[in-house]
A and B are shown apart, each in its own frame.
Chain A
Amino acid sequence: MLGLVLLAAVPVSGLAQANDPATKELIEKLLARIDSLEKRVNQLEQANPSARAATTPAPAAMVALPATQAHAHDQAPTPTVAAAEAAQPTYPLLKISGFSDFDFSAVNLHGAPAGPFGAQTLLTTHSGFQEGQFVLHFSSALSQKVTAFGELSLTARADAGTGSPAAPGFNTEVERVIIRYDWNDYAKFSFGRYHTPINYWNTAFHHGQWLQTTISRPEMIQFGGSFLPVHFVGGLFEGAVPAGHLNLNYNVGIGNGRGQAISRAGDAGDINNNRAWLINGFIKPDALYGLQIGGSVYRDAINNTAGLAAREWIESAHLIWQKESPEFLAEFANVHHQPSNGGVVSNSQAFYIQSAYRLPGVAKAWKPYFRWEQIHVPRSDAIFRTVVPVFSAATGGIRYDITSFAAFKIEYRNYWRRDLPSFHGIFTQTSFTF
């Protein structure tokens, strides 16, 4: 019996070392043995019903039956008190998870500013370490059909301790807060502050750098960037329908659109009487598991801090292969600005193509990647020309997954800018979830 106790104890302690192949094999063998013994015990109990009757309360009977036999009895087995209690939903059911990262960058800008790149692109004038965002994510089921989500970020400030009063060390930002009612899979209604669902990257990775393969987002959807509206305040109607075997997903939204600083959403209210709206759709065909193809349309009226007003149309498309061997992401967006005073109409484009490959076998922790991205803004676009960088960039790097919840990345980037010298740099990042 002591041997059996020890035998049973091994898998429990072994779970923590499940990554060791020898340990995993041992645990698998022991679990198979336990399952076999459970089955044998049940067979013995069935042969001797009095022994089973003495066990109260009884768990659901586990019986060895021919594998081909279907079971459709009138009543489900009676659950134990403990199982019934464990099955009872508790509301609100709050879950918290966190993400963070630490970065290092060295760029040959020689003290010159990089231009209107987002701060999260890590193009600093001096090489050195940077504390990335500290992100907390909250999800809470309020009932079977109502769920609340929140995402809070703390970002280190470059001007910490300066000014009067002294600037704080970190900016706190409510990145997302959403309350959603799920009527069923076809129809879900929500209100809140979202990452605008007109770009795949924006809705797939959010502020969790660990989730994305590369160190930084593509510039077209960079946090603090202006090319696409990263945040959206308003309401969304979304759902998914089978549509044959295409699995059509959709989002229809109405909200405040961009704020006066066009990199920000209208959190405290709209800046004009024109609501922004969006339509997004994508398919995930059954026949090509891992493929996602979609597109979006977004409409807004802009009144920026420089006093410029324009109607804005955004059309975007994406093609994604979600598996890791290989992984492939490609997105394109066109932003159309029509000045309200009858000025020159302009169209600005941005795209990126990224591929990666999770290496096989003993090298499976390694994932090399490459990205090419480009943003083009015509000189006639008065809304964008001072706040959106015009460039092409190549990024090559490798990600190493230290554990299932932490990764180390190193990458090299080269930037070619319009009317400005090109530059390059080395970047590293340790990112994790907890």
Chain B
Amino acid sequence: MRILSFNRRFLIAALAAAVAAPLIAAEQVDVAIVVRPDLPIDNLTFAELRRVMRGDRQFWTSNLRVTLLVRAPVARERDIVLKTIYEMSEAQFRQYWIAKVFRAEAAAGPRIVYSNEMSAELVAAMPGAIAVVDASQVPKGLKVLRIDGHLPGEKGYPLR
């Protein structure tokens, strides 16, 4: 049943690709920081976001640990995160997390996700998770955090 469902989705995707692919251009939009709606935070300063993403801040509250979800290499969301938040190259980013775990400052690095859908599902399933997704594909039911008071697409939004 599940295989059939997958095939059906795949057929739809293939048809959509055949019809619409030439018409769809890759949109270069902002990336959004998403969390579960029950997270008691709506806004982060860019400096706070950087501390969270760097693993310097590891708790939202005393009973809620931050879980970082980061896209796998070559995804645009990852490139933007590395460029704007970490200010690191891919190699520096890898070394940063190896060193952080080696210094016993974190038990593990970020969890790697391979699509916006996977990000959305894990954020929904994991209290305290935070992910970066394409702002034009924000998962329904998740909360988009304001960064320095701005939402994606607004003037002054830093993640683009």
Q: Which of A's residues lie within 8 Å of B, judged by CB?
A: 1, 4, 11, 15, 18, 24, 27-29, 31-33, 35-42, 44-45, 51, 54-56, 59-80, 82-84, 86-87, 93, 95, 97, 99, 137, 139-141, 144-145, 147, 149, 151, 176, 178, 180, 182-185, 203-206, 208, 211, 240, 245, 247, 284, 286, 289-290, 323-324, 364, 401, 404-405, 433
The answer to whether A86 touches B16, judged by C-beta atoms less than 8 angstroms apart, is no
0/1 string, B85-106, CB within 8 A of A gives 1? 0010111101100110111100
Please give, as numbers and ranges, the residues of chain B lying within 8 Å of A245 by CB-CB distance: 47
Q: Please provide the 10 A-B residue pairs with the shortest distance between their CB atoms, ordered closest to farther.
A: A67-B153, A32-B26, A83-B121, A87-B125, A79-B125, A77-B141, A286-B47, A60-B120, A68-B153, A149-B104
Whether the Cβ atoms of A63 and B154 lie closer than 8 Å is no
Whether A76 contacts B116 in the complex (CB less than 8 A), given A60-B121, A289-B87, A404-B90, comes out as: no
Q: State which residues 55-112 of B face A: CB under 8 Å.
A: 56-59, 61-62, 65, 72-76, 87, 89-92, 94-95, 98-99, 101-104, 107-108
- B43 to chain A minimum Cβ distance, whole angstroms, is 10
Q: Are B104 and A364 in contact (CB under 8 A)?
A: no
B10 partner residues in chain A, CB cutoff 8 A: 1
> What is the bound-complex CA distance between A245 and B48, given in angstroms?
10
- Contact check, A72 vs B37: say whether CB atoms are below 8 A apart: yes
Question: Do A29 and B104 have beta carbons less than 8 Å apart?
Answer: no
Q: Are B108 and A139 in contact (CB under 8 A)?
A: yes
- Say yes or no: B141 contacts A40, CB within 8 Å: no
Taking a contact as CB atoms closer than 8 A, the residue among A37, A73, A203 that contacts B141 in the complex is A73
Known: A203-B103, A289-B87. A76 touches B37 (CB 8 A): yes
* Residues in A whose Cβ lies below 8 Å from that of B56: 240, 247, 284
**CB-CB < 8 A to B124: which residues of A?**
60, 76-79, 83
Please indicate the chain B residues that have their CB under 8 angstroms from the CB of A33 in the complex: 21, 24, 26
**A293 → chain B, closest Cβ, in Å?**
16
Specify which chain A residues have a CB less than 8 angstroms from the CB of B120 in the assembled complex. Answer: 59-60, 62, 77
- Interface pairs (9), CB distance under 8 Å: A27-B74, A36-B21, A38-B115, A63-B140, A67-B136, A73-B143, A76-B38, A77-B142, A401-B91
CA A69 to CA B29, docked complex, whole Å:
13
- Determine if A182 and B91 form an interchain contact, defined as CB atoms under 8 angstroms apart: no
Shortest Cβ distance from residue B116 to the other chain A in the assembled complex, whole angstroms: 6
Q: Using A204-B103, A245-B47 as known contacts, say yes or no to A183 and B62 having CB atoms under 8 A apart.
A: yes
- Cβ-neighbour of A72 out of B20, B24, B117, B143 (below 8 A): B143
- Whether B20 lies near A35 (C-beta < 8 A) is no
| B118 contacts across to A, CB distance below 8 A | 83
Q: Is the beta-carbon distance between A62 and B13 smaller than 8 angstroms?
A: no
User: Is B20 a contact of A95 with CB atoms below 8 Å?
Assistant: no
**A61 to B143, alpha carbons, bound, how many Å?**
14
**Majority SS of interface residues in chain B?**
mixed
Instruction: Report the Cα distance A72→B135, complex, angstroms.
Output: 15
Q: Is A86's CB under 8 angstroms from B108's CB?
A: no
Closest to B26 in A: A32
Is the CB–CB distance between B139 and A184 below 8 Å?
no
A61 touches B126 (CB 8 A): no
With A67-B136, A72-B37, A95-B101 as known contacts, state yes or no: A36 contacts B24, CB within 8 Å. yes
| Shortest CB distance B34–A (Å) | 8
Given contacts A28-B76, A36-B26, A37-B24, contact A60 B117 (CB under 8 A): yes
Cβ of A145: which chain B residues have Cβ within 8 Å of it?
A: 65
8 A Cβ contacts from B4-32 to A: 5-6, 8-10, 12-14, 16-17, 20-21, 24-27, 29-30, 32
Q: Which residue in chain A gives the minimum CB-CB distance to B120? A: A60
The residue of chain B having its C-beta at the shortest distance from the C-beta of A14 within the complex is B74
Report the bound CA distance from A79 to B122 in whole Å.
7
B32 to chain A, nearest CB (A): 8
Complex CA gap A204/B103 in Å reads 6
User: Besides the contacts A72-B143, A75-B141, what 18 more A-B pairs have beta carbons closer than 8 Å?
Assistant: A18-B73, A18-B74, A35-B134, A37-B13, A37-B16, A42-B137, A51-B8, A65-B136, A67-B151, A68-B153, A83-B124, A83-B125, A86-B122, A95-B101, A140-B107, A205-B99, A240-B57, A404-B91
B138 touches A63 (CB 8 A): yes
Q: Which residues of B contact A24 (CB under 8 A)?
A: 74
Contact yes or no, B104 A178, CB < 8 A: yes
In the complex the two chains form, is B108's CB within 8 Å of A70's CB? no
Inside 8 A of B126's CB, which chain A residues have their CB? 87
Task: Check: B130 CB closer than 8 A to any chain A CB.
Answer: no
**Is the CB–CB distance between B141 and A93 below 8 Å?**
no
Compute how far the CA of A1 lies from the CA of B21 in the bound complex, rounded to whole angstroms: 13
Question: B9 — nearest CB in chain A belongs to which residue?
Answer: A55
CB pair B141–A35 under 8 Å, yes or no, is no
Nearest chain A residue, comparing its CB with the CB of B30? A67
